[in-house]
Amino acid sequence: MDISFFRRGIKLSRRARPGKIEQIPPPGRAVLSLQQGSGPPAEPSIEIGETVIVGQTLAQCASGSGADLHASISGEVTAFEDLHFPNGTTVKALVIEGDGKDTWAEPERDDKPLIASPGELLERIRRGGVIRQGSETKSLAEVIGEAMSPRGYLSSTGSTVAKPVRHIAVRFADQDPHLDALAAMTETIGDKTADLDLGVKVLASITGAEQIHFVLDNKQETPGLDKLADDNDYAVLRLDATNYPDLSSPMVARAVSGKEPDTAFKRVHENGILVLDVDTVLETALAARDRRPVVSKLISVNGPEGAGVFEARLGTPLADIVSAAGQKKEIGKVVLGGPMKGIAHHTLEFPLTKEISGITLFGRDQIDMAVNDPCVGCGLCSMVCPIRLTPGMLSRYCEFSSWDLAQEAHLFSCIECGCCAYVCPAGRSMVQFMVQGKSELLSTRRSES
């Protein structure tokens, strides 16, 4: 363990190179969650028994919220079933039994999308089902709407107080160690550079952002991206991805703006800086120009027997993806996401959803059980907390239900990065304490309103 006493975060090794992206064939049966991220679930617009083709809209959200859902395989809609998410919620999912034909819808292409109004472009992104991944996975259209919404009103004049989006930062490397889907995509971005440029310009047209930043790991070789940035006067920021969590959205926002962002309530995007992953920007281009919705995603797998980056259709069973990665033996623990920010799940019989960026697998002999001994007050957690919180105190407030004290100590500013848990010699479940505390405070607030 390498902890600098003068910087935030921790030093972690990353996988050497991501390798090529392997394609997973469309599954015979796709299970598609109506809930995509933290927004409201989409309302089905098809009936059981209907036949669908790839890209066809299956469910829609009201304007301004959520994202539409589309068929990821062609076949027949056979059922609505309950899907149990690892965070304990149960949502409805749509089941498609594939016909093996993989027939695609052919939406009308718009070769000049930048002529469209910002409102029209935003609607295309929402209808295309584009999601922003991050500490809170959300419809990209909703995130942009929140980022651009007024911050209040001046009572003296009645005029709105705006906080414009000044920066868009496009992230080309994964923030969580051992996930490398973004790095793999960046290695092979060559012929997609024009799409990337279009996606950036669509986002700039919607938000009016003044400055675009490409955020890269300092080990990535990207001549095509450097040229694109040069030609368009985009800034290039290279960070050391082994300094975790320097590639997280709050840290990137701080690096590009030079200001400490307000991280409360996971709303970094309301600080005038939109941090988006490269795959989200490419999906934006496809939604705006080709009207092509999101039906597949990249997923990074890391296990004791196999690892790789795969592109799979949404709704594909995770077990199929893990088996393609070469994992055969019994698995002791499944984490959806990376080792630092992922969430454990009890099964691989779960479909690929837009929220899942990776699968981390542990053998039985690799599992460290949390011991949750009492805090010994060593202070290591405060030294590594990137937000400069006092995690030891916060965890105790949450452990002993002192919710008000936790809130006063800025619990909601915690970005759940896991650095404190990583260094804690008492093996305390720090992030779980923080998440439980936030959840208790939010439910109390809801019941009081």
In the complex, what is the shortest distance from the CB of residue 378 to ligand SF4, in angstroms, rounded to a whole number?
Answer: 4
Give yes or no for residue 24 binding ligand SF4 (CB under 6 A): no
Closest CB to ligand SF4 among residues 96, 340: 340
Q: Which of 95, 196, 203, 415 binds ligand SF4 (CB under 6 A)?
A: 415
In the complex, what is the shortest distance from the CB of residue 377 to ligand SF4, in angstroms, rounded to a whole number?
Answer: 5
- What HEC string does the chain produce? CCCCCCCCCEECCCCCCCCCEEECCCCCEEEEECCCCCCCCCEECCCCCCEECECCEEEECCCCCCCCEECCCCEEEEEEEEEECCCCCEEEEEEEEECCCCCECCCCCCCCHHHCCHHHHHHHHHHCCCEECCCCCEEHHHHHHHHHCCCEECCCCCCEECCCCCEEEEECCCCCCCCCHHHHHHHCCHHHHHHHHHHHHHHHHHHCCCEEEEEEECCCCCHHHHHHHHHHCCEEEEECCCEECCCCHHHHHHHHHCCCCCCHHHCHHHHCEEEEEHHHHHHHHHHHHHCCCCCEEEEEEECCCCEEEEEEECCCEHHHHHHHCCCCCCCCEEEECCCCCCEEECCCCCECCCCCCEEEEECHHHCCCCCCCCCCCCCHHHHHCCCCCCHHHHHHHHHCCCHHHHHHCCHHHCCCCCHHHHHCCCCCCHHHHHHHHHHHHHHHHHHHC
Distances (CA, A) of 139 to 36, 103, 115: 8, 26, 23
In the complex, what is the shortest distance from the CB of residue 423 to ligand SF4, in angstroms, rounded to a whole number?
Answer: 6
Of 270-329, which residues contact ligand SF4 (CB under 6 A)?
none
Residue 319: exposure state from Cβ atoms within 10 A (0-12, 13-18, ≥19): middle
Give yes or no for residue 389 binding ligand SF4 (CB under 6 A): yes
Q: Which of 177, 345, 414, 433 binds ligand SF4 (CB under 6 A)?
A: 414
Closest CB to ligand SF4 among residues 57, 175: 175
Q: Which of 124, 167, 354, 428 binds ligand SF4 (CB under 6 A)?
A: 428
In the complex, what is the shortest distance from the CB of residue 70 to ligand SF4, in angstroms, rounded to a whole number?
Answer: 35
| # residues near ligand SF4 by CB under 6 A | 30
Instruction: Please give the angle made by the CA atoms of 143, 207 and 158, to the nearest 5 degrees.
Output: 85
In the complex, what is the shortest distance from the CB of residue 131 to ligand SF4, in angstroms, rounded to a whole number?
Answer: 23
Closest CB to ligand SF4 among residues 179, 424: 424
The stretch among 166-174, 321-329, 429-437, 438-446 that binds ligand SF4 (CB under 6 A) is 429-437
Q: Which of 431, 433, 437, 438 binds ligand SF4 (CB under 6 A)?
A: 431
The stretch among 119-127, 176-184, 312-320, 412-420 that binds ligand SF4 (CB under 6 A) is 412-420
Of 328-387, which residues contact ligand SF4 (CB under 6 A)?
375-381, 385-387
Give yes or no for residue 430 binding ligand SF4 (CB under 6 A): yes
In the complex, what is the shortest distance from the CB of residue 415 to ligand SF4, in angstroms, rounded to a whole number?
Answer: 5
The stretch among 47-55, 79-87, 163-171, 413-421 that binds ligand SF4 (CB under 6 A) is 413-421
In the complex, what is the shortest distance from the CB of residue 137 to ligand SF4, in angstroms, rounded to a whole number?
Answer: 18
Give yes or no for residue 253 binding ligand SF4 (CB under 6 A): no
In the complex, what is the shortest distance from the CB of residue 60 to ligand SF4, in angstroms, rounded to a whole number?
Answer: 36
Closest CB to ligand SF4 among residues 60, 429: 429
Q: Which of 93, 121, 395, 433 binds ligand SF4 (CB under 6 A)?
A: 395
C-beta separation of 127 from 68 below 8 A: yes
Give yes or no for residue 417 binding ligand SF4 (CB under 6 A): yes
Give yes or no for residue 420 binding ligand SF4 (CB under 6 A): yes
Strand partners for 161: 152
Residues at the site binding ligand SF4, with contacts judged by CB under 6 A: 375-381, 385-387, 389, 391-392, 394-395, 414-420, 423-426, 428, 430-431, 434
